[in-house]
Each structure stands twice: as structure tokens, then as C-alpha cells.
Amino acid sequence: MNQERDGQRFETVAIHAGQEPDPVTGAVVPPIHQSSTFKQDGVGGLRGGWEYGRSGNPTRAALEENLAALEGGRRGLAFASGLAAEDCLLRTLLRPGDHLVIPDDAYGGTFRLVAQVVDRWGVAWSVADTTDPAAVRAAVRPETKAVWVETPSNPLLGITDIAAVAEVARSAGARLVVDNTFASPYLQQPLALGADVVVHSTTKYLGGHSDVVGGALVVADEALAGELTFHQNAMGAVAGPFDSWLVLRGIKTLAVRMDRHSANAARVAEALAAHPRVVQVCYPGLPSHPGHETAAKQMRDFGGMVSFRVEGGERAAVAVCDRARLFTLGESLGGVESLIEHPGRMTHASVAGSALEVPADLVRLSVGIESVDDLLADLAQALG
């Protein structure tokens, strides 16, 4: 994918967009503006437009400008968590009586928000296999206002053809929302493929170091951006200055990290596919993956997430997680260190008993940037 912004390629934009040297001191790294309020030069005389930390902060603004540049959007908005970003978006897009389509493979926190919070607003929702545009078309109703997609999906790594589903949503008068957390803007840019809004948990690959919790929205439409900005301020779940600075710091190395994550994950997926105790490997980089061709078309590379199913059911899958040593047992993903988890009992426990329930024998890996030979050795001993 050719990712250029004003003649500059992605790696350059990641380091420089929104991050000009400080005009006062010349500091190459923009400072952390750790202030809750800003002095006014007379009533309403705002210096640079800054008034109060919830409404706006220079460090957060730098991150938001950077995110918009990376995704090719009109505006970026940074939040205290990925779910805070999702909540703000859904409250902006939906009203009682509206309808939302969500994927049949989605992050457990997103499902919990929709099924146990949004549902109480009088908003109807239904589940569709978003990897099949015809299934999305069948799920859309006259009152559908938004179609939600994860690609690659969490945790089964399903691939949705963003351009095809964007056409379905557009023909229905609905907004297409794409959770781009697994891919990151380095590997995939949904707005260029027809999406209206991109969602990120900046906790993951954008931050990249497992030391910050945050979320973001990037939008293509200026009118929607204005509505979201109003709700961001009115609801108040904004990213703090230090958290914004940490995400900006992570983004500087996003490209080189994603290259290594992807290379390591490809090796891990190939090794797992050849292992006698592994029943199935979910990784879009494998030619056997049903979404491989679509992923190759809309992604630069295939990312660092791998899921696999283990012979012996849930007990065997849990045992693999418990035996891993270099792969740390923990929830989350996208950090430089490798993580392993059992989705059914951990990140996706909230979908148990629903149409989104994940296989009990599934193990999810966030493949880090350590030596891939060490990672392969750890998985070999964990699988026994």
C-alpha cells in the first residue's frame, strides 16, 4: 500500500505530524502540558485557544493531529480508553429506535458495551458475519444507522472486505465503523477504503509498550467530527497529557515494530500449522486462511496476532497458556513483549452463551518483537 501524506511516507509522518519542536525552547520532543487550566488574557482572551484541560490540551492535540495524519482523516480524537472512544461514538451515532449491526467475532468489551449498555438506550442491534458482504446486506434494516467491523477480528482473525462492506453501508444510509486496532494505521487505512470512522485502542500497537491505556477515533467527515468533539468534551473521558505523550512516543516506532511483529507472527503461524497438536491456525498471512486474498489486497502486511485451536479441548488450551514462560499470560496485546491468553475465560468471557461465543479450545497470541527462535522454543515446550 502506498501510504503518503503531502509527499511524505508513513514512517516520516509518524515521527513528525503534530510534533514540531517546541516554539519557546526548541525541545525536539513536544512537552507534556500537565495543566488542568490555562491563564486567560482578560475574560474570553484565550492564549492559543486553550481554556480548560478537559476541553483541550496541547499534548492531546498533538496526538490527535498525529492520529488524523496517520489514518488520512479530517480529525482525530483521543480518549481515556478504547471503550471510552466507542461509547462516545455510539452515543453520537445512535438514538432510541435506531439499529446497529455488529460482527459475529468481536472484542468482548465491545460486545458487553453494546449488549448491556447500548441496548438500554432503546437501540436495537443484530449480529452478522461481516466477512460476507451479503450477510451484512441481509442484516441491514431501514433504521440501521451504523455497521461495526473489526478486521482482522478479535480473536478469530477474520478478514472483512472494507470496501465491499462500505458500499453496503453507504447504500443503506448507514455509517461504517472499522476497529483498526489489530492492524494499526501502518498496516491498514480503512478511511481510504470507504469507512466513515476508525476506532483504536491506543493501549495496543499505537502505544506499543504496555504502559498506557487509551483510545481514539479518526473520522473522514468534518460535520461528524464536530459532533464527536462536542460529545468528547461534554462526556469528559479524554486522554490525559501524560498518556497522550506516551502514545505519541510509541507511534514514533510503530512502523519498525509492526514490521517485526508481522515477521515474527508469520514464523509462529507456520510453525503452529505444522504442529501435530494444533487443530487450526487463525492467521491471515497463511494462504489457507479464507481471508488471505482480501487481507493481501487491503493490508501492507498481516500483523502480529495469531490464534490457534488445540487438540484436547478447553483443558488442553488452558494448559498451554499455563505452561508458556516467555509468552506472558495476560490480557491485552500489541506490546513489544509476547502475550498468551485463553479468550473464552479471559478477554471474551462476556460473550459466553451468545452468538459471539468463542471456541473453548482457542488460544490467542500477541506475538512480540523478541527473538522469534526463542518464541518458537517456548511454544514448542508449552504444547508439549
The CATH topology of domain 4-251 is Aspartate Aminotransferase; domain 2 (3.40.640)
Of residues 22, 20, 31, 92, the one with CA closest to residue 60: 31
Per-residue pLDDT of the chain (384 residues; tens, 9 = 90+): 445 566 899 999 999 999 999 888 999 998 999 999 999 999 989 998 999 999 999 999 999 999 999 999 999 999 999 999 999 999 999 999 999 999 999 999 999 999 999 999 999 999 999 999 999 999 999 999 999 999 999 999 999 999 999 999 999 999 999 999 999 999 999 999 999 999 999 999 999 999 999 999 999 999 999 999 999 999 999 999 999 999 999 999 999 999 999 999 999 999 999 999 999 999 999 999 999 999 999 999 999 999 999 999 999 999 999 999 999 999 999 999 999 999 999 989 988 888 889 999 999 999 999 999 999 999 999 999
The residues that bridge with 364 in the sheet, in sequence order, are: 307, 341
Which own/partner contact pairs does 25-33 have at CB distance under 8 Å and 24+ positions apart? 29/249, 30/58, 30/59, 30/62, 30/245, 30/248, 31/59, 32/59, 32/241, 32/242, 32/245, 33/57, 33/58, 33/59, 33/241
Angle between helix 82-93 and helix 108-116 axes, rounded to 10 deg: 40
The residues that bridge with 146 in the sheet, in sequence order, are: 100, 175
CATH class of 255-383: alpha beta
For 107, phi and psi rounded to 5 degrees?
-55, 135
* pLDDT tens-digit readout, 321-370: 999 999 999 999 999 999 999 999 998 998 888 888 999 999 999 999 99
Active-site residue set: 54, 107, 179, 204
The residues that bridge with 282 in the sheet, in sequence order, are: 307
**pLDDT (0 to 100) of residue 350:** 87
The rounded distance, in Å, linking the Cα atoms of 51 and 291 is: 48
Burial class (CB in 10 A: 0-12, 13-18, 19+), 173: exposed
Of residues 116, 109, 308, the one with CA closest to residue 199: 109
Work out the number of other CB atoms within 10 angstroms of the CB of residue 353. 7
Cell readout for 25 is 525552547
Helices (H), the chain: 10-16, 58-71, 82-93, 108-116, 133-139, 162-171, 184-187, 222-235, 241-251, 254-273, 292-298, 313-323, 372-383
Domain ranges of the chain: 4-251, 255-383
**pLDDT (0 to 100) of residue 2:** 46
Instruction: List CB contacts of 66: < 8 A, sequence separation 6 or more.
Output: 13, 14, 17, 18, 19, 76, 248, 251
The alpha carbon dihedral of 218, 223, 226, 232 has a sign of negative
- Shared fold status for 4-251 and 255-383: no
